[in-house]
Amino acid sequence: MDELLTVKQVSQKLKGNPNQVYDLHKTGLLKGIKLGCLKFRAITVDNFMAKYEGYDLSDLKNIIEINYQKED
Protein backbone atom coordinates (compact mmCIF):
# COMPACT_ATOMS: atom_id res chain seq x y z
CA MET A 1 0.00 0.00 0.00
CA ASP A 2 1.29 3.45 -0.89
CA GLU A 3 1.90 5.75 2.02
CA LEU A 4 0.84 9.37 1.54
CA LEU A 5 3.02 12.08 3.02
CA THR A 6 2.05 15.64 3.89
CA VAL A 7 4.11 18.63 2.79
CA LYS A 8 5.57 18.82 6.30
CA GLN A 9 6.55 15.14 6.25
CA VAL A 10 8.18 15.50 2.84
CA SER A 11 10.11 18.57 3.99
CA GLN A 12 11.38 16.60 7.00
CA LYS A 13 12.38 13.69 4.77
CA LEU A 14 14.24 16.04 2.43
CA LYS A 15 15.75 17.95 5.38
CA GLY A 16 14.30 21.17 3.99
CA ASN A 17 11.30 23.36 4.65
CA PRO A 18 7.69 23.25 3.44
CA ASN A 19 8.19 26.18 1.06
CA GLN A 20 10.82 24.20 -0.81
CA VAL A 21 8.38 21.30 -1.21
CA TYR A 22 5.72 23.65 -2.60
CA ASP A 23 8.32 25.10 -5.01
CA LEU A 24 9.31 21.61 -6.19
CA HIS A 25 5.65 20.84 -6.78
CA LYS A 26 4.94 24.14 -8.60
CA THR A 27 7.81 23.50 -11.01
CA GLY A 28 6.60 19.96 -11.69
CA LEU A 29 9.71 18.30 -10.30
CA LEU A 30 7.76 16.60 -7.50
CA LYS A 31 4.28 15.49 -8.41
CA GLY A 32 1.63 15.22 -5.72
CA ILE A 33 -2.10 14.86 -5.31
CA LYS A 34 -4.58 17.18 -3.69
CA LEU A 35 -6.90 15.47 -1.22
CA GLY A 36 -7.99 18.39 0.94
CA CYS A 37 -4.34 19.36 1.19
CA LEU A 38 -1.36 18.52 -0.96
CA LYS A 39 0.07 15.03 -0.41
CA PHE A 40 2.82 12.96 -1.98
CA ARG A 41 3.30 9.23 -2.37
CA ALA A 42 6.33 8.07 -0.39
CA ILE A 43 7.62 6.18 -3.44
CA THR A 44 7.40 9.39 -5.50
CA VAL A 45 9.57 11.21 -2.96
CA ASP A 46 12.06 8.33 -2.91
CA ASN A 47 12.23 8.33 -6.72
CA PHE A 48 12.71 12.11 -6.72
CA MET A 49 15.66 11.80 -4.32
CA ALA A 50 17.25 9.07 -6.44
CA LYS A 51 16.75 11.00 -9.69
CA TYR A 52 18.26 14.24 -8.40
CA GLU A 53 21.06 12.79 -6.31
CA GLY A 54 24.23 14.66 -7.23
CA TYR A 55 22.38 17.75 -8.48
CA ASP A 56 22.20 21.28 -7.10
CA LEU A 57 18.54 22.24 -6.71
CA SER A 58 19.21 25.61 -5.08
CA ASP A 59 17.85 27.36 -8.19
CA LEU A 60 14.98 25.31 -9.62
CA LYS A 61 15.18 27.21 -12.92
CA ASN A 62 18.83 26.24 -13.31
CA ILE A 63 19.39 22.70 -12.02
CA ILE A 64 22.99 21.67 -12.46
CA GLU A 65 25.01 18.60 -11.67
CA ILE A 66 27.34 19.07 -8.72
CA ASN A 67 30.91 19.02 -9.95
CA TYR A 68 33.01 17.18 -7.39
CA GLN A 69 36.65 18.15 -7.62
CA LYS A 70 39.15 15.49 -6.69
CA GLU A 71 41.81 16.91 -4.42
CA ASP A 72 45.44 16.01 -5.13
Residue 72 pLDDT: 61
Residue 35 pLDDT: 85
Is residue 71 in a domain?
no
Note the pLDDT tens digit of each residue in 47-63.
999 999 999 999 999 99
All residue ranges of the chain with pLDDT < 70 are 1, 71-72
Is residue 52 in a domain?
yes
Q: Residue 53: which domain range?
A: 4-65
Residue 69 pLDDT: 77
The pTM score is: 0.86
Count of structural domains, the chain: 1
Closest-CA residue to 23 (of 6, 11, 15, 35): 11
Residue 20 pLDDT: 96
Task: Put residue 30 in one of left, alpha, beta given phi > 0 → left and psi -120 to 50 → alpha.
Answer: beta
